[in-house]
Amino acid sequence: MKLAFVYMPVKDVQAALALYRDHLGLAEAWREGELTVALQLPGTDVQLMVDQEVQGDPPGAGPFFVVDSVDDFYAANRASLDFVVAPKDIPPGRYAAFLDPSGNVVRVMDTTKDL
């Protein structure tokens, strides 16, 4: 498990870019259309991913970890973690989310579509 992103759901991607990119100087690493943009955090491999809030997604910012297989992670932890999003497809692979003991959303993804 490796931390890939600090996930930041936002109401307005352009306003978020005005702050994080234009004012704070974070460099744009990649984007997916106009609704998802990753910004490189200096001196790390971690990125800040600003993403337009989507109705039905669990609310809240938090970590986004990369695992080898979301389906394997889900199967191994289904009984012990409180999953709020079962594995589903996303552009690079698969994604799922669970709650930590304080109710924070922890997201996991894999890049199986890139293989």
Q: Is pLDDT of 90 > 80?
A: yes
Three-state SS at 19: helix
- Average confidence (pLDDT) over 30-48: 94
**Model confidence, pTM:** 0.85
Mean pLDDT over the full length of the chain: 93
Number of domains in the chain: 1
Q: Identify the pLDDT of residue 115.
A: 53
Q: Is the per-residue pLDDT at 107 higher than 60?
A: yes
Q: What is the DSSP letter of 112?
A: G
Residue with tokens 């589903």: 88
Supply 37's token pair. 């943009």
CATH of the domain at 86: 3.10.180.10
pLDDT confidence band for 114 (50 / 70 / 90): low
Range of the domain at 89: 2-114
Q: What pLDDT does residue 12 have? A: 95
> Is the pLDDT score of 55 beyond 80?
no
Cα–Cα dist 23/16, whole Å: 10
